[in-house]
Structure 1
Amino acid sequence: MNELVLGNAKMIAQFLEDHKCKDISVLDVSEECSWADCFIIATVSSVGHLRGVAHELWGELNTIGLEVANRHKKPSGDGWELVDCGDIVIHLMSSELREFYSLEKLWQKREL
């Protein structure tokens, strides 16, 4: 993963922490994945929290200069919002879904 992607990932992780997301992981998936270099996974406390963070995150991503490929007017209410920024993919997940899907284990937990 290049320095620009790493720097942007760290800014996004800090933003998520500032917005009360928990257990934030930044994973380098560049060797295992052909379509992204980095996953950021964060736990949200409720569907309302998920929607609020996603909405604010889109503004932050614009400020950073990252384009969102899958922007929705209203994030889904299923407890998992995937935000595709090309090299960086952000997963905002409820604790139940995060535990069930265990993305860190699936991607070998190459945490930064």
Structure 2
Amino acid sequence: MEDLAIARACAEFADDKKAENIRILDLRGLSPVIDYFVLCSATSAPQLRAVRDNIEDEMKEKHGQRPLYKDGNYESQWLIIDYGNVMVHVLTPEKREYYALEELWGDAPEVALKSDEPAPEPKPRAKKVAAKKPAAKKAATKRATKKKAD
């Protein structure tokens, strides 16, 4: 199953349990570890549980997909389900506003929830650049070594 199809299926199963403000963000080319975020809101602890459980149950039953990892408890008001290249975040509206994942990943294009629209072309992955050590650190090390010698 393609990653975008997994993301859309998760969004659909969240919608089945009346999750609100469901969005899929395309992180290809922006994140070295994940391709899609599915974000949705649930207004209570029972709804958080219902949304997460429905996504897991339906993905297993209809698509044979089990999460690689899941995290969060109901008191934290933020549950995560990891399907490899797709990560589902189920949050209360307050936690979603506080952590502002949409703003954090503001460069990520939003993908249509239904499959009648194709996914946007991925951006090329950003190359990691090795950080240069500041010269001040070297000077401080030399001074410390000099003091020990005295």
Superposed CA deviations along residues 34-88 of structure 1, whole A, max 9, x for unmatched, are 111100000001011101221222111213232312247x943210001111110
Q: TM-score, with normalisation over the residues of structure 1?
A: 0.87
> CA 1:99/1:71 → structure 2, altered by over 3 Å: closer, same or farther?
closer
Q: In the alignment, what sits opposite 1:95?
A: 93
Matched residue of 2:88: which SS? strand
SS where residue 51 of structure 1 aligns? Answer: helix
Contact 1:9 1:38 in 2 (8 A): yes
Paired residue type of 1:56: N
Which residue is 2:13 aligned to? 15
1:44 paired residue number: 42
| Regions of 4+ moved over 3 Å | none
TM, length-normalised to structure 2 = 0.66
- 2: CA distance between counterparts of 1:25 and 1:58? 18
Amino acid at match of 1:38: Y
Instruction: Decide whether the 8 Å contact of 2:9 with 2:59 is kept in 1.
Output: no
Which consecutive residues of structure 2, in runs of 5 or more, have no partner in the other structure? Answer: 112-150
- Determine what percentage of the aligned residue pairs are the same residue: 28
Greater Cα radius of gyration, structure 1 or 2: 2
- Runs of at least 5 residues in structure 1 that lack an aligned partner in the other structure: none
Instruction: Identify which range, 95-104 or 63-72, moves more after superposition.
Output: 63-72
Q: CA RMSD in A?
A: 1.8
